[in-house]
Amino acid sequence: MIPSFDQFQKYGQENMEAAIQAVGTFSKGAQAIAAESSDFARKAIERNSSAIEQLAGAKTIEKAVEIQTEYVKGAYEGLVSQSTKLGELYSSFATEAFKPIQGLYSKFTAA
């Protein structure tokens, strides 16, 4: 069966709406990722500045090593935490962005 012109128009309209929804979700996801990344960078700069100030005030080598050890431990934990957050953001972003397209795909494959 050959689809009518009206069916083609309907398919085109549905495709356009799905694409607009996907682009909107993409935009929101990109903004959330950028905000999270800039927040992480700001916190990292603050942590770095604090560590440098503490190192400058260290009176003994042992205290300097302790400060540096705490800094490295905190930086590593922060990186792992940030990586987890970004992974979750990317995952949810991709899932949400492809929902409109998946809906169209399931509709067309069922027809």
pLDDT at 11: 75
Average pLDDT over residues 79-97: 90
Contacts of 101 (CB under 8 A, 6+ apart): 18, 22
Domain span at 91: 25-110
pTM here?
0.71
In a domain, 72, yes or no: yes
Q: Is residue 19 part of a domain?
A: no
Do the beta carbons of residue 51 and residue 78 sit within 8 Å?
no
Element counts in the chain: helices (H) and strands (E): 2, 0
How many domains does the chain divide into?
1
Confidence class of residue 88 from pLDDT cuts 50, 70 and 90? very high
In this predicted structure, the answer to whether residue 67 has a pLDDT above a threshold of 80 is yes
Asked, for residue 97, whether it belongs to a domain, the answer is yes
- Nearest-5° Cα angle at 17, 87 to 85: 10
What is the per-residue pLDDT for 62? 95
Residue 48: the pLDDT is: 94
User: According to the per-residue pLDDT averaged within each range, which of 26-30, 57-61, 95-99 is highest?
Assistant: 57-61
Q: Is there a domain that residue 4 lies in?
A: no
Q: Are 29 and 96 in contact (CB under 8 A)?
A: yes
Share of the chain above pLDDT 70, in %: 89
Higher per-residue pLDDT: 105 or 21 = 21
Q: Residue range 31-51: average pLDDT?
A: 94
Task: Decide if 61 is inside a domain.
Answer: yes
